[in-house]
Structures are given as C-alpha cells and as structure tokens.
Amino acid sequence: MYDLIIKGGSIVDGTGAPQQTGDVAVTDGLIVEVGALSGDAKQTIDADGLLVTPGWVDIHTHYDGQVTWDPLLTPSFWQGVTTAVMGNCGVGFAPAARDGHDFLIGLMEGVEDIPGAALAAGVKWDWETFPEYLDAVERHPHAMDVGCQIAHGPVRAYVMGQRGAKNEPATPEDIEKMATVVTEALQAGALGFTTSRTLLHLAVDGEPVPGTWAREDELMAMGHAIAAAGHGIFELAPAGISGDDLIAPAKEMAWMRKVAKATGVPVTFLFGQNNKAPDAWRDMLKECEAAAADGARVYPQVFGRPTTLLFSFQGPNQFIRFPTYATINKLPAAEKLARLRDPEVRAKILAESDPIQDAFADMVQDAWAETYVMGDDFDFEPPISQSVQAVAAREGRDPRAVAYDEMLRSDGTNYLMFCGLNYSHGNLDALHEQLIHPLSIIGGGDGGAHVSYICDANVPTFLMTHWARDRSRGPRIAMEAVVKKLTSETATLYGLNDRGVIAPCKKADFNLIDFDRLNAPKPFMVNDLPTGAQRLMATAEGYVKTIVAGEVVQENGKETGARPGKLIRGKAAA
C-alpha cells in the first residue's frame, strides 16, 4: 500500500515535457510510481483540474538567521517553495568567533536590510564553526528543506579578525587557513561558497562586505577548496551589478571564467539589466557563452521580474533621510501620518534634500523616470506613462510632490515602485531574453532579506502568473519551461539530484496549483520579527496544496503544522 496517491492531476514534471494527466504514488517520502495507478493508499488526494508540479527549489535566499526561529521560512513558504538555499552574497552567520557576533549582525543588517535588533534577539548562537552551525540548523524543525552555503564575509572575519573585516589584503597564510575552513564546511554539508564584490553591499557601519576587493589568488583558492570537497558551487554578487561600480563585462568575467576552468567548479553570479548601461547585459551573456565554449561553467543568475524597491511612508522611501522626515519617522503610525498630511511639514520635506551622498542616493534620488506609481493591483511591467516623471509632466507638477502625494494615498500605505534593474526601457523584453537563455538560472529572489522595501520572495508565483499566463506586452514563456526553471534547473546546478522532477526515486515535493486562480496579492507590512520589528510580507492564492516529503505542509494558504523539512548536507544524489 502506498502512503499517498495524487490522483488525476495535470502533471508538469519539471523536465520541460508537455503536461500529461496522471497519478503519482509516494512511499516513505519518495515518488515510487507515475502513471495510471490502481493500487491502494493510506491517503488519496484528488488533483482533477489542478497542476501537479515539483516543489520550487529557490537557490537565492537569506534565511540564515530566520532559519533558527521560524519553522515556516515565510514569505517563501507561502509561494510553493519546498527547498530554500541560503548563505548567498558573501554574508552569513558562520563561522562566528565568540566576540564576532555583533559584527556579523551588522553585516547582515547593512547588506540585507534585516533589523539588527531582531537578529540579536532571535539568533541564539549555539555554534562557532560552520559544521556546528549546520548542526544547530538541523536541530530546528522546519516545513521545508534548507541548504546552506558558507560565506566569504564571516570566513574572512573569523580567520583574519579586523584585517579581514576591513578588507585588507590576505597573506598566503590567511588564504590557506580560509581555504581549510571552506573545505571543512563543504565536507560537513555546505552547498557552496559565496562572495560579494558590489559596492552596494555595505555593512551597517558603511564598510564594504569583507572580500569585496579580494585578489584573484584568494578567489582561486576558494574555488580549489570547493573542488577539494568534491561538490559545491561558487556564487557571487559581482562588481557591475549597479551604477556605483559599473565595469566592463570582460573584466569581471575574466576571473570567474578562470576559476571555473581551473577548478571545474560551477560559478553563478547575479545578473541583470543595469539602468546606467541598459544594453551591457548582452555583452555579459556573450562572455558567458564564450566561457561555456571554453569549458568553463559560468551561469548568469537572472531575476524573474524587475528588481524593485517598494517605497512607502510605512517604510523606507526617497525622503527617509531628509532632516524633517527623519524627525517624524519614528512617531507612532497615526501621529506620523497626521504630520505628513500637514501642509507645512509637506512643504519643508519637499524643500530639503538627502544629506548623504552614497550608492543608495545615487541610485534612487530623483530617479523619477524609473519610479512608478502603484495601486492595489501590482503591475510589474507598468507602462512608462505610469512613471512619476510622466505623471508630473502631464500634471505640470514637481515629481517630488507627485511621489509624496501618491505615498499618502490609502492612509499612507500606497507604494511607489523603483525599478533598479531589468526595466531600463519600460518593458520586460530584455528580461525575457535572459530568462530563455540556455545558460541562465533563476535566482535573486532574496527571500528573508531587504524586509522593509523589497518583497521578491513571491517571484516563483510571478513567473507562473505573468510569464506563463498573463503577459500581454510581449512574448510569454511556456508554462512547462517556467516550471523547469523553478525546479530541475536550479536543483541540478546545486547538485540536488534527488529533487526537482516528478519521477520514480525522486523526493516527493509537490505543488498542487489551481492555475487559473494563482495570484500574488499586494505585499503588506507585518510586525512578526523578534522584538516586533516590521517586514514586508507576501502571500499567494491558488496553491491548493504544497507537499514536502509526502506530507501536506500548506493547504489553501493555511499551514498544516507538519514539519517534514530536513537540512540538506552536501550533494544529494538520487
């Protein structure tokens, strides 16, 4: 007798093959049979009229702290994710010297916008080394599977102390010690090594992430450390991801290609269309193709939609550092809203400017052509006529005044959407080309991070709704291809060969989806982090059931209490 049969669903198996109606049988958390089944089962789920897909494998999250207190890992849990990989972009919480906890919290707070007070209250620090961190994660029950990567920032700080934290050059002895730490982490179960080289990634004290200017010998040594472990990936946020450090594609690609070729380790890097050089992405894709032709495995990790900042008076916005706004920002919500509605306060704020000139200011201040007015129905492919600049031109008003007044709508909860990447020409045509490129991998959702003004953990749902079903301003992507992007492609790149496909011997992780009803509603603020800190939350509609290892963990937006999630240690082979 089977443990579970999913009966009569439209199976989209994750390989890209056309959907077919059939049944799926599960025993002991594994798929044992697919087809027209007649055997008995302890539980039968009628999937007639539903898509049956593998669970989503999200390779780019930042739940490194949240994993120690949240068994669900929301918002990703609500979006059909059944495997989440964290430790990206060179930041994490292990290894951690006893006197280095505050530094790692400040690093995560600055780079990933997770409140430091919430991390300090939520993380219990019952580890020092990375293997001990994996043990600590494994002790916590979870609804989904989690995988961890070891990050450059903590490694540098642990081995080199202040010299590493301040980005001083590593000596040969430092590099040897770091390589040993990385190899030990991979042997204990880490899925890879990550680093960051973009100047947008700053600790809370304004210092760049440790490793930002690491020399090639240090980066190459980390690649060899991964190779020595026999599995793993090299992930990074590269220089050139933003206008603050825009460089020629060939320069950054040169060392990635060299590391991949010399070590045999796959390299994946965040990749997007840059507002400051809107066509440079084509050159970078050509560099990836040249690397592949040379035998170097280098994969651009593309975004599923524009990389946006959601500005509102509930959280960060273009005025947040203006002197008058700063004086009222911490007031209770009702009092703050009343002050913002005061014409005298409004006039003062609009007459001021950002006193800090940094990468954030360079990116968002007066970028009204890339900032769009949003409503209750979010449109992530808005027409140019919806930009703040276009509205201001039509109405003969100052764009700042338009932005201010729009954010006052709906009692101060309305959003402006700043499109930082992937929307330079007012449509998603460039992103379409990136998504369908044979070397591209879907990532960059940042689940658990940027909690006050980014909520891209629902990108998997957006891929299914916008790209496979709803897009009207350009070509769509076949639904079967979208499912493959979200499952087998990400799983295979990270060596997770036991999942991502509906086939015998694979892990029994599924989404049962009412495709016509699938939807990602407007994000909203909640105060559910430790200390009551706020964050943006994204839910979804249309996931009838999400199943992990044969157990239903979510049903129509309600969690069931099941905790079948496991820590993935190393390369999982079917």
* Confidence (pLDDT) at 243: 47
Give the confidence band of 241 by pLDDT, cuts at 50, 70, 90: low
447 and 81 Cβ atoms separated by less than 8 Å: yes
Give the confidence band of 249 by pLDDT, cuts at 50, 70, 90: low
Q: State whether 46 and 129 are in the same domain.
A: no
Is the pLDDT at 242 greater than 70, yes or no?
Answer: no
| Residue percentage of the chain with pLDDT more than 90 | 85
pLDDT digits (tens, 9 = 90+) for 206-231: 889 999 999 999 999 999 999 999 99
DSSP type of residue 470: I
CATH of the domain at 498: 2.30.40.10
Q: Of 403, 359, 396, 328, nearest to 245 (Cα)?
A: 359
Residue 415 located in a structural domain: yes
DSSP characters for 284-351? HHHHHHHHHHTT--EEEEE-SS-EEEEE-TTS--TTTTSHHHHHHTTS-HHHHHHHHH-HHHHHHHHH
Q: State whether 250 and 180 are in the same domain.
A: yes
Q: State whether 86 and 164 are in the same domain.
A: yes
Q: State whether 466 and 351 are in the same domain.
A: no
The Cα 198–Cα 271 span in angstroms is 12
* Confidence (pLDDT) at 23: 98
Task: Check residues 252 and 67 and name the one with the higher pLDDT.
Answer: 67
**Cα–Cα distance list, 299 to 265, 287, 289, 421 (Å):** 11, 10, 9, 18
Mean pLDDT of the chain: 94
DSSP type of residue 78: G
Is the pLDDT at 377 greater than 90, yes or no?
Answer: no
Locate 51 and state its tokens. 């898509």
Residue 573 located in a structural domain: no
Residue 568 located in a structural domain: no
The Cα 458–Cα 544 span in angstroms is 16
Label residue 475 exposed, middle or buried (CB < 10 Å: 0-12, 13-18, 19+). Answer: exposed
Residue 569 located in a structural domain: no
Q: State whether 224 and 357 are in the same domain.
A: no
The Cα 290–Cα 292 span in angstroms is 5
Locate 71 and state its tokens. 């068994």
Q: State whether 452 and 464 are in the same domain.
A: no
Residue 524 located in a structural domain: yes
* Confidence (pLDDT) at 280: 83
pLDDT digits (tens, 9 = 90+) for 447-464: 999 998 889 999 999 999
Tell me the residue type at 2.
Answer: Y
Is the pLDDT at 359 greater than 80, yes or no?
Answer: no
The Cα 550–Cα 508 span in angstroms is 5
The Cα 192–Cα 170 span in angstroms is 21
* Confidence (pLDDT) at 182: 98
**Cα–Cα distance list, 452 to 9, 199, 376 (Å):** 38, 20, 18
Residue 571 located in a structural domain: no
The Cα 26–Cα 509 span in angstroms is 10
461 and 520 Cβ atoms separated by less than 8 Å: yes
DSSP characters for 90-107? T--S-S--TT-HHHHHHH
Q: State whether 111 and 212 are in the same domain.
A: yes
Contacts (Cβ under 8 Å, ≥6 apart) of 543 = 78, 79, 80, 511, 512, 513, 518, 554, 556, 557
Give the confidence band of 244 by pLDDT, cuts at 50, 70, 90: very low
| Residue percentage of the chain with pLDDT more than 70 | 98
345 and 446 Cβ atoms separated by less than 8 Å: no
299 and 441 Cβ atoms separated by less than 8 Å: yes
Q: What is the pTM of this model?
A: 0.95
Q: State whether 469 and 383 are in the same domain.
A: no
Q: State whether 72 and 211 are in the same domain.
A: yes
Is the pLDDT at 574 greater than 50, yes or no?
Answer: no
Domain boundary among 368, 403, 421: 421
Locate 256 and state its tokens. 């990635």
171 and 212 Cβ atoms separated by less than 8 Å: no
The Cα 308–Cα 442 span in angstroms is 16
Is the pLDDT at 203 greater than 70, yes or no?
Answer: yes
Is the pLDDT at 573 greater than 50, yes or no?
Answer: no
pLDDT digits (tens, 9 = 90+) for 511-568: 999 999 999 998 999 999 999 999 999 999 999 999 999 999 999 999 999 999 999 9
Q: State whether 433 and 387 are in the same domain.
A: no
Q: State whether 350 and 364 are in the same domain.
A: yes
Q: How far is CA 188 from the centre of its chain?
A: 24
Structural domain tally of the chain? 3
pLDDT (average), residues 5-32: 98
pLDDT (average), residues 24-53: 96
129 and 94 Cβ atoms separated by less than 8 Å: yes
Is the pLDDT at 79 greater than 70, yes or no?
Answer: yes
Classify residue 421 as left (phi > 0), alpha (psi -120 to 50) or beta. beta
Q: Which domain holds residue 472?
A: 1-55+458-559
Residue 112 located in a structural domain: yes
**Cα–Cα distance list, 569 to 32, 77, 446, 487 (Å):** 23, 21, 21, 19
Residue 480 located in a structural domain: yes
pLDDT digits (tens, 9 = 90+) for 128-178: 999 999 999 999 999 999 999 999 999 999 999 999 999 999 999 999 999
Q: State whether 173 and 72 are in the same domain.
A: yes
* Confidence (pLDDT) at 248: 55
Element (H, E) at 400: helix 399-412
pLDDT digits (tens, 9 = 90+) for 395-449: 999 999 999 999 999 999 999 999 988 887 789 999 999 999 999 999 988 999 9
Q: Of 379, 381, 430, nearest to 271 (Cα)?
A: 430
